[in-house]
Amino acid sequence: AFIVNVNPKPGLSAIQNDTICANSNSSNIFWTSNIVGTTISWTNSIPNISSPILSNGNGDIASFVALNNTGAVLNSTVNAVPELNGCLGDTTSFDFVILPEVIVNQSSDQVVCHDDTTTTIIFSGNNPAIIYNWLNNNPGIGLGANGSGNISSFTGINNTNIDIISTISVVPSLGTCVGDTMFFTITIKPTPTLSAPPNQTICVGSAT
């Protein structure tokens, strides 16, 4: 007589795709098996989507900072294989979907005089679908306190005798992803004035 031991086949629960904005943290990935004691080994198809780089490993996958400066969506597939007592289970796969980094190009500062018009400000970035929301910390220059999209030319206002400097902050966004804020300034210079001197009446031969 002899005994034949048939070991069970380990399995893994499905993992949902993880969609992440570039420069944001991924979710922690926790594997769940149908049998206690199952070990998991995994590979990642695009290792450079993360910092630190993830090419392969064992066990759960800790949260990482997602990287994507390509301007396109990256889909990196993770394939995980469960093992128990030398028996391999079916491969379980899911994707890390890394959305591209959102970048707004730097706008130039502007300096104009009171009652002169500014130059139209056209925002650009690394994706034509980016939305640009902006804030103006000094609406008294003739520009609204906030807006979205390009800033049309406007007439600068400065009724003081000193320069008025307004800082514009621009936040680019694409879907749920938000990029770094960009800053530039618009300076409105005052109109110079002269005070008329009093009239003088002098005698011939006298000094003014």
Mean pLDDT per segment of 10 residues, for the chain of length 208 residues?
Answer: 79 96 95 94 94 90 93 94 94 96 97 97 94 97 97 97 97 95 98 86 88
Q: How far is CA 149 from the centre of its chain?
A: 16
**Gyration radius of the chain's alpha carbons:** 32
CB atoms within 10 A of CB 155: 14
Please tell me the predicted confidence (pLDDT) of residue 7.
Answer: 75
Please tell me the predicted confidence (pLDDT) of residue 108.
Answer: 98
Nearest in space to 172 (alpha carbons), one of 108, 137, 139, 128:
128
Predicted TM-score (pTM) of this structure: 0.76
Residue with tokens 């005089």: 113
Please tell me the predicted confidence (pLDDT) of residue 76.
Answer: 96
β 164-174/182-189 pair status? antiparallel
Residue 65 φ then ψ, to 5°: -85, 120
Nearest in space to 160 (alpha carbons), one of 143, 184, 140, 145:
140
Euclidean distance between CA atoms 166 and 104, whole angstroms? 19
At 129, list the tokens: 């679908």
For 39, 45, 90, 109, the CA distances from 11, given in Å and listed in that order, are: 10, 21, 6, 60
Cβ neighbors of 1 (< 8 A, separation 6 or more) are none
Euclidean distance between CA atoms 208 and 206, whole angstroms? 7
